[in-house]
């Protein structure tokens, strides 16, 4: 059984408004690393909130580890298993002091003090913010706040974390670090990661990419598959990673090169081989 399973999900914020999410069937396996792409307002954040049970579908159902998100009695279990990091760190920090904030989730779980301490220290170390333990949260920079928000989620030790544009406020270095942290969580601790992003270079790191448009899933596959269909992505106002675009343009110019190349080194090797081959002919 998949960890998250959506069956025929539809959602609208109020009955007389248009549906924001339409007819979504989706399975996310345990331990996978999934990226969700789509342009502004296509319903990514709404889907994320549905997937972790903050919102419940108006039609269809969502199962998290077998528990229906519409079932009030299981909501605490669901919360514990599936966490979410939001875009704006300012609105998700609860306490004035860093370690108090990170301790918020384990405190809510009613864990003993030693265990809370252990989890807080572990979570802060994971995001490399141990030295800021006793700082005031309002004095941190945007990126540092976001790391604390991630640490706050880690301290809950959920099985799945959904990141809703969690890197949007970070500088390139900060973004790289957070993406590295996500990868590490996924590969080392085995946490299921779902990340929503507008940065194609981040999406490339995932095992699977889901592309949304107007509340529907229009493509679902590995990065290689998704970024091979350049026209399709461009038709929903999405870009492809620069490397994939280069290969695509060369192909359009009549050079028989493969599509869906994602990494610069891979592209360089292919191009080298191609140019050498062309010379020899």
Partner 1 sequence: MLKDVTFGQYYPGNSLLHRTDPRIKMLILIEYLVLVLVANSEIAALLSLAFTVFLIAVSGVRFGILIKSVKPLIFVLAFTAIINLFFTVGEGEPLLNWGFITIYANGVRNAIMMLLRLLSLVLGTSVLISFTTSPLELTDAIEALLSPLKKIKVPVHEFAMMMSIALRFIPTLIEETNKIISAQKARCADFESGNLLKRIKALIPILIPLFVSAVRRAEELADAMECRCYNGGEGRTKLKVMKSRPADYAFLLAVTVLTVAVFFLNNISVSEIINLCKAIF
Ligand X SMILES: Nc1ncnc2c1ncn2[C@@H]1O[C@H](COP(=O)(O)OP(=O)(O)OP(=O)(O)O)[C@@H](O)[C@H]1O
Among 4, 5, 9, 45, binds ligand X (CB under 6 A): 45
**For the chain, the helix, strand and coil percentages under 3-state DSSP, each to the nearest 5:** 45, 20, 35
The verdict on 46 binding ligand X (CB under 6 A) reads: yes
Residues 6+ apart with CB under 8 A from 253: none
Among 32, 137, 192, 213, binds partner 1 (CB under 8 A): 137
* Contact call for residues 240 and 200 (beta carbons, < 8 A): yes
The verdict on 84 binding partner 1 (CB under 8 A) reads: yes
Number of residues that bind ligand X (CB under 6 A): 10
CB of 33 vs Mg ion, minimal distance in Å: 19
CB of 274 vs partner 1, minimal distance in Å: 49
The verdict on 54 binding partner 1 (CB under 8 A) reads: yes
Q: Which of 141, 173, 163 is nearest to 35 (CA)?
A: 163
Give me the sign of the Cα torsion angle 84, 89, 95, 100. positive
* Contact call for residues 78 and 69 (beta carbons, < 8 A): yes
Query: Toward partner 1, which CB reaches closer, 107 or 245?
Result: 107
The verdict on 44 binding ligand X (CB under 6 A) reads: yes
- Contact window for ligand X (CB under 6 A) among 41-49, 96-104, 170-178, 223-231: 41-49
The verdict on 237 binding partner 1 (CB under 8 A) reads: no
- Contact window for ligand X (CB under 6 A) among 38-46, 66-74, 200-208, 248-256: 38-46
* Residue 258 binding result from Mg ion, ligand X, partner 1, none, given CB thresholds of 5 to 8 Å by partner type: none
The verdict on 100 binding partner 1 (CB under 8 A) reads: yes
Distance, in Å, from the CA atom of 156 to the CA atom of 83, rounded to the nearest integer, reads 8
Give me the sign of the Cα torsion angle 161, 165, 169, 170. positive
**E strands, the chain, in order:** 4-11, 21-28, 33-37, 59-64, 67-68, 82-85, 160-164, 192-196, 208-213, 216-221
Please, what is the Cα angle at 164 between 159 and 166, to 5 degrees?
95
Query: Toward Mg ion, which CB reaches closer, 45 or 197?
Result: 45
Distance, in Å, from the CA atom of 120 to the CA atom of 148, rounded to the nearest integer, reads 10
Among 1, 16, 40, 276, binds ligand X (CB under 6 A): 40
- Contact window for partner 1 (CB under 8 A) among 6-14, 149-157, 198-206, 235-243: 149-157
Distance, in Å, from the CA atom of 249 to the CA atom of 270, rounded to the nearest integer, reads 15
The verdict on 250 binding partner 1 (CB under 8 A) reads: no
Residues of this chain that bind Mg ion (CB under 5 A): 45
Distance, in Å, from the CA atom of 48 to the CA atom of 31, rounded to the nearest integer, reads 17
CB of 236 vs ligand X, minimal distance in Å: 12
Which residues contact partner 1 by CB under 8 A?
A: 49, 52, 54, 76, 79-80, 83-84, 86, 88, 90-97, 99-100, 103-113, 116-117, 120, 136-138, 149, 152-153, 156
Which residues contact ligand X by CB under 6 A?
A: 13, 20, 38, 40-46
């Amino acid at each position: 059984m998949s960890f998250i399973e959506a069956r025929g999900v539809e959602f609208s914020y109020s009955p007389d408004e248009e549906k924001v999410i339409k007819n979504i069937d989706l399975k996310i396996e345990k331990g996978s690393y999934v990226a969700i792409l789509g342009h502004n307002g296509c319903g990514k954040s709404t889907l994320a909130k549905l997937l972790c049970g903050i919102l419940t579908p108006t039609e269809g159902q969502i199962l998290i580890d077998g528990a229906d998100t519409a079932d009030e009695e299981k909501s605490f279990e669901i919360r514990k298993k599936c966490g979410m990091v939001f875009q704006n760190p300012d609105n998700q920090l609860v306490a004035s002091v860093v370690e108090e904030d990170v301790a918020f989730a384990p405190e809510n779980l009613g864990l003993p003090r030693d265990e809370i301490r252990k989890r807080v220290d572990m979570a802060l170390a994971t995001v490399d913010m141990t030295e800021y333990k006793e700082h005031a949260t309002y004095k941190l920079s945007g990126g540092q706040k976001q790391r604390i928000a991630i640490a706050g989620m880690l301290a809950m030790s959920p099985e799945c974390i959904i990141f809703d544009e969690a890197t949007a406020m970070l500088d390139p270095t900060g973004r790289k670090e957070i993406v590295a942290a996500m990868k590490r969580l996924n590969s080392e601790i085995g946490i299921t990661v779902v990340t929503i992003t507008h940065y194609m270079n981040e999406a490339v790191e995932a095992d699977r990419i889901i592309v949304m448009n107007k509340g529907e899933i229009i493509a679902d596959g590995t990065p290689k598959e998704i970024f091979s269909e350049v026209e399709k992505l461009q038709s929903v106002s999405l870009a492809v990673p620069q490397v994939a675009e280069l290969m695509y343009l060369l192909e359009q110019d009549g050079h028989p090169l493969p599509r869906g190349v994602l990494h610069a080194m891979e592209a360089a090797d292919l191009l080298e081989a191609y140019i050498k081959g062309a010379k020899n002919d």
